[in-house]
Structure 1
Amino acid sequence: MPDHSARHSVSVAGVVVDGDKALLVQRRDNAHWEPPGGVLEVAETITDGLVREVREETGLTVEPIALTGVYKNMTRGIVALVFRCRSVAGNLLTNDEVKSFHWATKDEVTAMLDEAYAVRVLDAMQAEHPKIRHHDGVNLLG
């Protein structure tokens, strides 16, 4: 019988684009490269959470352009909403969560990120319509 007491969490990520490149952050805790983002707080709107998370991790204020994908980590029960964004203010600043930044091409995204994160960035860089995908935290499923 399924466990109906289990809860999902919702995260947001902003793929900040500039021409043919996307901004990646390198996390301090595991050195992985990812788009900036994090868990949406219960009382905040999706857009407010997105702007807050990107600002906290990068120092940039962004404007969401489009929802580019919905991704579910089947192992951890996390649903991620990913948006293509443009920077409207601020400067890149490292912090307690992020130790480095890189403006990556599509080829660099594929080489630097686990598949489950690379697809989010690539979808945001090229998708005309939102994608819906499932993964195990590293690899896409189906």
Structure 2
Amino acid sequence: MADLPRHPVAVAAAVTDDNGLVLALRRPEDGRWEPPGGMLEIGETVPDGLRREVREETGLEVAPVRLGAVYQNTTTGTIVLTFRCRVLGGRLTVNDEASEFRWMTPDEVRERMPEIFAGRILDALADVEAPVRLHDGRRLTARL
């Protein structure tokens, strides 16, 4: 069988609290606010990768509640699955991937995060069928 092209797959988590706030972390390399998340490892399931990425970046143990959206970067081919998650335990811990944490309202997410990251969180918070969105790495280009 010929080698098939591979699309990198990543996960992102909209971690919510009991007050409707969502967790954001600040990336130390550029100061941007983003949801926790990252690339799946080969052989790793989506739920396992989601839990691992959140634990590595925040110190929290989470459970996925629902799929929020599917994003495809048409420039790189990366597919990002965004999930709404609830906290099971752990403690927020600053590390190499997160220099600061903040619990934000949806309006703060819109104001403080780049469009692509804000959209992922807002889609995960919405109680609608998970949309599929295309983007170019900076801006949304289509919703399917």
TM-score, normalising length: structure 2: 0.92
Could you tell me which residue of structure 2 aligns to residue 14 of structure 1? 13
The answer as to whether partners of 1:16 and 1:22 remain within 8 angstroms in 2 is yes
Gaps of 5+ in 1: none
- Compute the displacement of 1:114 (Å): 1.1
Could you tell me which residue of structure 2 aligns to residue 64 of structure 1? 64
Identity of aligned residues (%): 47
The answer as to whether partners of 1:63 and 1:86 remain within 8 angstroms in 2 is yes
- Compute the displacement of 1:128 (Å): 2.4
Could you tell me which residue of structure 1 aligns to residue 39 of structure 2? 39
- Compute the displacement of 1:103 (Å): 0.5
Could you tell me which residue of structure 2 aligns to residue 73 of structure 1? 73
- Compute the displacement of 1:127 (Å): 3.2
Q: Amino acid of the residue matched to residue 99 of structure 1?
A: S
| SS of residue paired to 1:13 | strand
Q: Amino acid of the residue matched to residue 120 of structure 1?
A: R
- Compute the displacement of 1:116 (Å): 1.1
Cα distance in 2, alignment partners of residues 102 and 45 from structure 1: 28
Q: Amino acid of the residue matched to residue 25 of structure 1?
A: L
The answer as to whether partners of 1:41 and 1:49 remain within 8 angstroms in 2 is yes
Cα distance in 1, alignment partners of residues 111 and 118 from structure 2: 9
The answer as to whether partners of 1:20 and 1:105 remain within 8 angstroms in 2 is yes
Could you tell me which residue of structure 2 aligns to residue 105 of structure 1? 105
Could you tell me which residue of structure 2 aligns to residue 55 of structure 1? 55
Q: Amino acid of the residue matched to residue 42 of structure 2?
A: V
Gaps of 5+ in 2: none
Cα distance in 2, alignment partners of residues 30 and 8 from structure 1: 25
The answer as to whether partners of 1:117 and 1:138 remain within 8 angstroms in 2 is no
**Number of aligned pairs?**
139
Cα distance in 1, alignment partners of residues 63 and 138 from structure 2: 28
Q: Please give the per-residue CA displacement for 1:64-115, whole angstroms capped at 9, x wherever unaligned.
A: 0001110011112110001000000001001011101111111100111111
TM-score, normalising length: structure 1: 0.93
